[in-house]
Amino acid sequence: MQRPALVNIRGDSKSIAIEDAPIPCVKFLRPARHADERGELGEVFRADLMRECGVEFEPVQENHLLTSRVGTVRGLHFQIPPYAQSKLVRVVVGAIFDVAVDLRRGSPTYGQHVAALLSAKEWNQVFVPAGFAHGFCTLQPNTEVAYKVDGYRSAESERGLLWSDPVLDIRWPVDVASITASERDFRQPCLRELPQYFEYP
């Protein structure tokens, strides 16, 4: 995957680098890491730096997922308006292949996706705005993922997109025939079957 251009580094030695993804409203984040004899410290969220990059993100809930098996896909998930959510995703233990798919009708990148490797070792994160389906595949056993959202969970508003839809051309880094997923995620609709949930811009 092509490395994005660096668009913002602010603050002191504990600040966060924020980069545009190939779809620019998706952001890659990497905290500066301050080390001493005790270990390391890094700021994993700064609302002021997000605003400098044009992103208003006010999280109201944080979720934590533990996935035991390598090659497990969770997604592709989203909530529809008026309960649509933006997400800030990071890995606490292990590693994932993370994917965000543009569902905004009229967008020049509609149906396209951004993919990134996130790991506890790298401390890197992805910001996924509302209007995108999100999911990931685990690359290590007992992987733990934490993500902040700017809207509360609404079971009635939860929707999904089929992770294996060939139109999406997502190149999952594991054998697709051996992927583990929930029964629900194996039955999600393809892109062409989705109603028009999100407008662009």
Catalytic positions: 77, 147
CA distance 17 to 31: 6
Residue 64 contacts residue 91 (beta carbons within 8 Å)? no
Q: Which two tokens stand for residue 52?
A: 């400098």
Among the listed residues 64, 99, 67, 93, the one whose alpha carbon sits nearest the alpha carbon of residue 173: 99
Note the Cα 146 to chain centre separation in Å.
Answer: 10
Rg (CA), the chain: 17
Which residue has tokens 């009229």? Answer: 106
The set of residues, in sequence order, having a beta carbon less than 8 Å from that of 151 and lying 6+ positions away, is: 60, 61, 79, 83, 84, 85, 86, 130
